[in-house]
Amino acid sequence: MNSNQQLLKGSLSVIILKLLEEQERMYGYEITQKVKALTAGQMAITEGALYPALHKLEAEGLLTTETQVVEGRARKYYSLTKDGHTEAVSRISELGIMLENLQRLLTLKPAI
Amino acid sequence: MLTPHHLTLLRQDLRTLAHIEYQEVENELLDHYAMLTEQKMETGQVFEYASANAWKELGEGIGLQQIQEEFIKNIRKQISSRHLEILKSYFRWPTVIGTLFICGLVYQLSTVLGPKTIYIVTQFLFLSPGLILIYALVRKEHRHTDTRKLAWQYMNSRANIPTAFLQFNNMLPFFLNNEDKPTPFLLMHPSISTGLACVLLIYTLTFMELYRENFSYKTAH
């Protein structure tokens, strides 16, 4: 696993919540493609990480699902619950603060 | 767009090569596998090559098994939490009054019925979770093989706990007594037997409640 993927795994649930906040409902494959497109292929979510994360968020009551038959196969759409919306705001804000601090640390000028 | 025959072939891969058993996981992975295959077919690849490349991208089954394992773990955790929640509810206000009333009633009955009867009742209660499962098996056998598989597995394992205690109780006199016909431990200690009867009664009630829950997890085959 490269460092990009390790960072991605740690913040996967926040990414999912953020994407679902932007778009009302999404399915697994769509999420992987959206991440790939938004990061110009720099980041890729593997199925092995995505689906357990989706199932966990669903079990926590943050996501709700709806299955629809599309082109002869069942497609499971995920969307945020009311709690999911609240949690998304909180987790995105937490990650934002963490990234800001990380940015400060990484751009630290050496003491003279 | 994939034909129904193509989808059947992809489904077979999931079932035979990745051993996907749960319908919910299978449906989700089939859609993902199909989307990947379609994406490759759009670049001019024929179905056979496109699906083979998509399969490689999916980790050739190993990664998919991991998804199923995580799914099973997640559902088991949910069932176990639900059981614990039911158990806790018997000790919450105002249900705790009912629980104390039942225990008081069992204690009163034990003094009236005598140690031998309460010992027999306790023995029966040890087996009651297992008896509920037998009843469920007789009445809804199809549900046992097709749906509620994980919930069933959980209940099976939990029903074995009281049975193991019963066996332990029957074995204990052989270690404690040197007589020819050793008296069972619980028969010698009616107060412990009464206490256990209360615990087992509550456990059986939680078991019945858990059994009545409508678990919707389905298996693929």
B80-96 pLDDT tens trace:
888 999 999 999 999 99
Strand partners, A26: A78
Q: What percent of chain B has pLDDT over 70?
A: 86
Planar angle of CA A14, B20, B32, nearest 5 degrees: 50
Q: Touching check for B74 and chain A: CB below 8 Å?
A: yes
pLDDT at A16 over 60: yes
Q: Distance from A13 to chain B by nearest Cα, in Å? A: 15
Of B37 and B157, which is predicted with more confidence?
B37
pLDDT of residue B214: 63
pLDDT at B118 over 90: no
Q: Touching check for B141 and chain A: CB below 8 Å?
A: no
CA distance A111 to B54: 52
Which residues in chain B have their CB less than 8 angstroms from residue A67's CB? Answer: 27
Kindly give, in sequence order, each residue whose CB lies less than 8 Å from that of residue A18, ignoring residues fewer than 6 positions away. A88, A92
> Do residue B67 and residue A28 have CB atoms under 8 angstroms apart?
no
pLDDT of residue B188: 76
CA distance A76 to A92: 24
B204-213 pLDDT tens trace:
999 888 887 7
> Do residue A71 and residue B63 have CB atoms under 8 angstroms apart?
no
> Do residue A71 and residue B2 have CB atoms under 8 angstroms apart?
yes
Q: Touching check for B18 and chain A: CB below 8 Å?
A: no
Task: Decide which of 1.10.10.10, 2.40.50.140, 3.40.50.880, 3.90.950.20 is the CATH code for A3-106.
Answer: 1.10.10.10
> Residue B14: is it exposed, middle or buried by C-beta count within 10 angstroms (0-12/13-18/19+)?
buried
Q: Distance from B196 to chain A by nearest Cα, in Å? A: 34
Instruction: Say which DSSP state A89 is in.
Output: H
Q: Taking residues B118-138, report their average pLDDT.
A: 85
CB proximity under 8 Å: A 75-94 to B: 75-76
pLDDT of residue B175: 67
> Do residue B28 and residue A28 have CB atoms under 8 angstroms apart?
yes
Lowest-pLDDT range, A68-72, A86-90, B160-164, B181-185?
A: B181-185
Which residues in chain B have their CB less than 8 angstroms from residue A76's CB? Answer: 24, 27-28, 31
B169-198 pLDDT tens trace:
777 666 666 566 667 777 778 888 889 889
pLDDT at B149 over 80: no
Task: Report the 3 state secondary structure along chain B.
Answer: CCCHHHHHHHHHHHHHHCCCCEHHHHHHHHHHHHHHHHHHHCCCCCHHHHHHHHHHHCCCCHHHHHHHHHHHHHHHHHHHHHHHHHHHHCCCCCHHHHHHHHHHHHHHHHHHHCHHHHHHHHHHHHHHHHHHHHHHHHHCHHHHHHECHHHHHHHHHHHHHHHHHHHHHHHHHHHHCCCCCCCCHHHHCHHHHHHHHHHHHHHHHHHHHHHHCCCCCEECC
- This complex has an ipTM of 0.87
Closest CA to B23 of B186, B220, B192: B220
CA distance B192 to B2: 66
